[in-house]
Structure 1
């Protein structure tokens, strides 16, 4: 997949959730129905033949081993009937969280867009719009598992189908595949992991650069592209999120919590917390207290 390809990026949690799936076989002359405002993502996974399909102003001729992700809010249609026997799997899913369609090499939207929604930094799942799947046989196996779950009693189908769908998402997530992950994403994720493991220490630009073996300016560019934050901004963000958890789960004094998450200057900790959350650490704790 070249850098001009589109991806659909989903913030998680919550992850996209499974609705329904099936397998369709077309004879020559059959064609895909035209639909608008379906309200569901429609993932097409080609097993054999050729399917001619379009979405708004873009058209594709899908062949075996390819996938296409159609959006829930756009018009998609048959370009022309099949000229040979054609079979494909399809799966409908939806998400309760924000998603965007962007160029593959574009930066993901920043964490600041989610800080009021999540206490933990969201993961951004990347699904290719149009893809030559690297492991089509494994994808077919998972689709057959999903279809088989449809015939089970509801209590089994819910868990078995959901598990198979999660495996499918993981396998199709471009960020999980080294050959598709950009260098910027790789460096940013390494930096994020290091910050999470050392946020309670006096982490500096030098220690981060030495640990990752990259110049700090390059690490900064990568994190800004992927997370919308510099390493320093992400460090503050993560420290304050951990402080929230300690305020809720412990009775530690405010100063002790500030020091535990890496702030040496406690007034600065309180001011930073209030600037991000709109209330002081003490007010935040009291808002969840029975006595509040």
Structure 2
């Protein structure tokens, strides 16, 4: 049975590629031991077995399996290979927040992320240990990564970053129906409903009826996934649209408030100033030409 332990990355920014390669083990060869390497190490097995540990935990990796080793842990060989083995590896790093958990959802600092990047994060879910559903696709991406290392640096950089992002997408459990949790599914449905109906009067009743779940449960799911209640997410969505209208139109502030779903103009202005840091009129004056 596959482990349900994941590594969560808040994006943007996405983790970025550093280097990659492939290793062939003869019987008796073993993985090097490392401590506090400072980078993530993703291993993808094509054939054979690899006996590897991280701190007090140990795994036997077989063909088609992956293991994500963390940057601040002790990695070591449990024992030498007993048969020929072939595996790929990728070293990467993340400047954004990440967390390991065995629970359904990590508790990332969404509020701090939003202040830094001015947007809600996408939580990238990578499995700690996994059996690839389409191993040949992953191996093809790895061969592209490694081959690009022989190109000119200006060309190799973009090829490798783009290919690595495609590998991340392939491994992101939120891209698969089997990997995504019911909590994330409901939170994303609530998010989509709010984005499609933010101009209207989205209420606890309309949201509950649309999704066929109790509002309190929807609130818990959104809080867990996005760090916001539905009401907070609705306000955020309306203010984001208001920012666009302030920059793209010459409509009066009152008209913009009405267009994005605020019935009370002073309340809109107060919300905007509190969340964005400037009143609507000063925001328009500062950022429009």
TM superposition score normalised by structure 2: 0.91
Partner of 2:274: 275
Query: What SS does the corresponding residue of 2:130 show, helix, strand or coil?
Result: strand
- The structural deviation recorded for 1:127 is 0.3
Moved over 4 A (4+): none
Q: CA deviation at 1:152?
A: 2.4
Tell me which residue corresponds to 2:252.
253
2:237 aligned residue: 238
Measure the CA separation in 2 of the matches of 1:120 and 1:237: 9
Residues 243, 33 of structure 1: alpha-carbon distance in 2 compared, 3 angstrom cutoff: same
Preserved CA contact (<8 Å) 1:126 1:173: yes
Where does 1:119-134 land on structure 2 (aligned, <5 Å)?
119-134=118-133
CA distance in 2, matches of 1:245, 1:110: 26
> 1: CA distance between counterparts of 2:61 and 2:274?
51
Aligned in 2, Cα 1:45/1:126: closer, same or farther, shift over 3 Å? same
What is the 5 A alignment of 1:64-143?
64-109=63-108, 111-143=110-142
1:110 Cα shift? 5.4
* Preserved contact between residue 121 and residue 226 of structure 2 (Cα < 8 Å): no
Change (3 A) 1:255 1:216: same
Aligned to 2:224: 225
Tell me the TM-score normalized by structure 1. 0.90
* SS of structure 1 residue aligned to 2:232: helix
Q: Distance in 2 between matches of 1:50 and 1:184?
A: 35
Structure 1 unmatched runs, 5+: none
Tell which deviates more after alignment, 68-77 or 217-226.
Answer: 217-226
Cα-Cα RMSD: 2.1
**Secondary structure of the residue that 1:116 maps to in structure 2?**
helix
* Cα distance between partner residues in 1 of 2:23 and 2:43: 10
Partners of 2:61 and 2:176 lie apart in 1 by 22
Number of matched pairs: 289
Q: How many Å apart are 1:211 and its aligned residue?
A: 2.5
Structure 1 residues 63, 70: CA separation in 2 closer, same or farther (over 3 Å shift)?
same
Measured after TM superposition, the shift of residue 205 of structure 1 is 2.1
1:174 maps to: 173
Q: Is the 8 A contact 1:119 1:241 kept in 2?
A: no
Q: Which moved more, 1:87-96 or 1:104-113?
A: 104-113
Post-superposition Cα deviations, 1:161-201, rounded to whole Å, max 9, x if no partner, equal 22221211111000001011111111111111111122122
Contact 2:208/2:215 (8 A) holds in 1:
yes
8 Å Cα contact 2:200-2:261 kept in structure 1: yes
